[in-house]
Amino acid sequence: MEYSIIELQEKLKYILPPKRFIHSLGVQYTCANLAMRYGCDIQKAQIAGLLHDCAKYMPDEEMLTLCRKNFIPVTETEEKSAFLLHAKLGAFFAENVYNISDKDIIDAITYHTTGKPDMTLLEKIVYVADYIEPSRKRIHGLKKIRKISYDSLDEATYLILESTLNFLQKESTREIDPRTKKAFEYYKYLNTH
């Protein structure tokens, strides 16, 4: 039995830290807006947005252990930057804890952190909504990206990938997932040719 959106919110409210829960509600809301704008299934977008960070409450070591225990593949990059695993683990939880059987929703949760080349409409909506949702504040160029998100989802995806890579290269010691680089090259080509 799949849960209703209200039931999912109630469950997450007791699992996620308050700021993460507020963020998840913001992503749900923004996903609904983008789904209306681009003609995507609104309920699927809301569920994917709400559950995208459903595993982002545990320490890195616990995520690694749970991935191994549940035979979820862990890349070399994820081994070094285990925080990335919350997306794969979140997809696993969506399916096995929250009874979500829709592959589109599962995939949108899986790729919301790294992105990937040629994302589906729902994958792009969750990826973009995670970046632009209302509680986000201190991101360079956020106002511009929010505006562009309602004009061109592909351009917004490109700008978010570019911003993310710039941040990771300049200001972070985190590993850069190869999927993010490939996604950036894909959307850069798409937006410049």
Tokens for 134, please give them: 């209302």
pLDDT of residue 190: 93
pLDDT of residue 193: 84
Q: Tokens 């070094």 label which residue?
A: 80
* Res. 173: pLDDT tops 80: no
Burial of 55 (0-12, 13-18, 19+ CB in 10 A): buried
Single out the residue of 139, 131, 95 nearest to residue 113, CA to CA: 131
pLDDT of residue 93: 97
d(CA 189, CA 20): 34
3-class secondary structure per residue, 7-68: HHHHHHHCCCCHHHHHHHHHHHHHHHHHHHHHCCCHHHHHHHHHHCCCCCCCCHHHHHHHHH
What ranges do the domains of the chain cover? 5-192
pLDDT band per the 50, 70, 90 thresholds, residue 167: confident
Residues 97-129 pLDDT 10s: 999 999 999 999 999 999 999 999 999 999 999
Average pLDDT of the chain is 94
Is 5-192 a CATH 2.40.100.10 domain?
A: no
d(CA 164, CA 168): 6
pLDDT of residue 1: 62
* Res. 80: pLDDT tops 90: no
Calculate mean pLDDT across residues 165-176: 82
d(CA 126, CA 119): 10
| CB of 100 closer than 8 Å to CB of 51 | yes
pLDDT of residue 172: 67
Lowest-pLDDT range of 9-18, 100-109, 132-141, 170-179:
170-179
Share of the chain above pLDDT 90, in %: 85
Residues 5-53 pLDDT 10s: 999 999 999 999 999 999 999 999 999 999 999 999 999 999 999 999 9
How far is CA 177 from its chain centroid? 14
